[in-house]
Amino acid sequence: MLHVKKEGIILRPGTRPFENEGVFNPGCVQVGNTVHMFYRAFSRQQRSTVGYCRLQGPLHVVERSPAPVLSSEHPYEKNLEDPRVVFLDGTYYLTYVAYDGLNVRLAYATSTDLVRWQKRGILLPDITYDRAEDLFHACRSTLKERYFLFESYFKDVVGKDVLLWNKDHFFFPRKIGGKFALVHRILPDIQVMYFRRFADLTPAFLERYLKTSRAMSSSSRNTGTSRGISGEAPLPWRPTRAGCSSTTRWMTWTGE
C-alpha cells in the first residue's frame, strides 16, 4: 500500500495570460533534489499549453517559466493537455493530449536536457470510435459493457465520426523485454501497449492491439471510480491512477 501525505498547494494560477485561469494535471521528473514540473496551463481564453516550474526541497518553487514550454503549432493541437514526463534510455519523453476542439490524440515531444524540446507528432494513427467498437467485439468476453456505452456516448455527443477517445498516456520509465510500454486510457480503464519501434505503430498494429485489448488497471463501482480512471503520475513500477464516479464531481487517488 502506498501512503500519500497531502502537502497543500504547490502552484497557483499566475498573472501571465497563458496561465491566469488554472494550473493543473502536472507531470514531474526528479533529478537529484530538483523536481521539474510540467503542467497544464489554462488561460481565460480557454486555451491550454504546457507550463514549467522548477522545485527544490522538493516542494518549493524556485523558478517558473514566463511562457509556455510547448504551445499549439498544428491544427490537431488547439489545446495541449495533461503532460507527463519520464526519463528513459538517456531521453526525456514528454507526452501530452492534443485536442483540436473535437477529437483528442496522443502526442509527444523529446529532450535531452529538459530545456530544448522537439515535438515528435502523433503517436498512433487515427481510428474512429465506430471502427474501434467493431474491434472490441473480438474481445467482448474480457471487456466491460461500459466500453460500448462510452462509444455510444461519444458518437451521440461529439459526432458519428468521432475518433477513439484515447488519452492520459505516458511511457513506462523502463523498457520491458526490450519494448516500450505505453500506458494510456480508453474509458473506462487503463491499458498498456508494448512496441519495439515507433515505426511499428501502424494502423494494422493498432487494430490488432484493439482486438486483444485488456485492462491493466480497472475502474470499479466499489472504489468510487465507476465512470473511469486514468494514469496520472508515472511512478517507477506502480503508476498512480485517478478515478471518478459518474454521479459525483470529486476525484479519488490511489497508489494501486
What's the confidence (pLDDT) of residue 151? 85
CATH 3.40.50.720 fits 9-123, yes or no: no
What's the confidence (pLDDT) of residue 252? 34
| 130, containing H or E segment | helix 129-136
pTM, full prediction:
0.86
Give the domain ranges of the chain: 9-123, 124-256
CA 163, distance to chain mean position in Å, is 16
182-232 pLDDT tens trace:
999 998 889 999 999 999 999 999 999 999 877 665 554 444 444 445 555
Share of the chain residues as helix, strand and coil, in percent rounded to the nearest 5: 15, 40, 45
CA distances from 236 to 20, 38, 218, 252 (A): 32, 18, 19, 20
Higher pLDDT, 246 or 157: 157
55-89 pLDDT tens trace:
998 889 999 999 999 999 999 999 999 999 999 99
Higher pLDDT, 152 or 204: 204
